[in-house]
């Protein structure tokens, strides 16, 4: 009798972990669709420029886009407007 209950408990907890992992992955995908990532960089310490990414950039992507001789000043995320999200959804179809 306890073997059956142990098996049920183990399968139940394993299913719970899998569902939590799946939910975490889907949340990350949803946030990626809803946000833009802004990286503010400077060459000389006085003037800054902003670069926009659809996903959080890796260091390699950042260097490819802005060059190796810049300093990162700030990184921020901003939600896309509803209009931009609708445009993105229509373009995907």
Contact between residue 53 and residue 66 where contact means Cβ atoms under 8 Å apart: no
pLDDT at residue 15, rounded to an integer: 79
What is the pLDDT confidence band of residue 2, given thresholds at 50, 70 and 90? low
pLDDT at 85 over 80: no
What does each C-alpha distance from 13 to 2, 26, 84 come to in angstroms?
Answer: 16, 20, 40
| Tens digits of residue pLDDT in 60-69 | 999 999 988 8
What is the pLDDT confidence band of residue 79, given thresholds at 50, 70 and 90? confident
In the 8-state DSSP scheme, what is residue 93? Answer: -
């Amino acid at each position: 009798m306890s073997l059956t209950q142990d098996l049920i408990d183990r399968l139940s907890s394993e299913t719970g972990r899998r569902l939590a992992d799946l939910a975490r992955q889907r949340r990350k995908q949803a946030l990626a669709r809803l946000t833009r990532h802004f990286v503010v960089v400077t060459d000389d310490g006085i003037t800054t420029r902003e670069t926009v990414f659809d996903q959080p950039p890796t260091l390699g992507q950042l260097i490819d886009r802005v060059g190796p001789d810049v300093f990162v000043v700030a990184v921020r995320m901003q939600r896309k407007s509803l209009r931009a999200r609708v445009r993105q959804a229509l373009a995907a179809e």
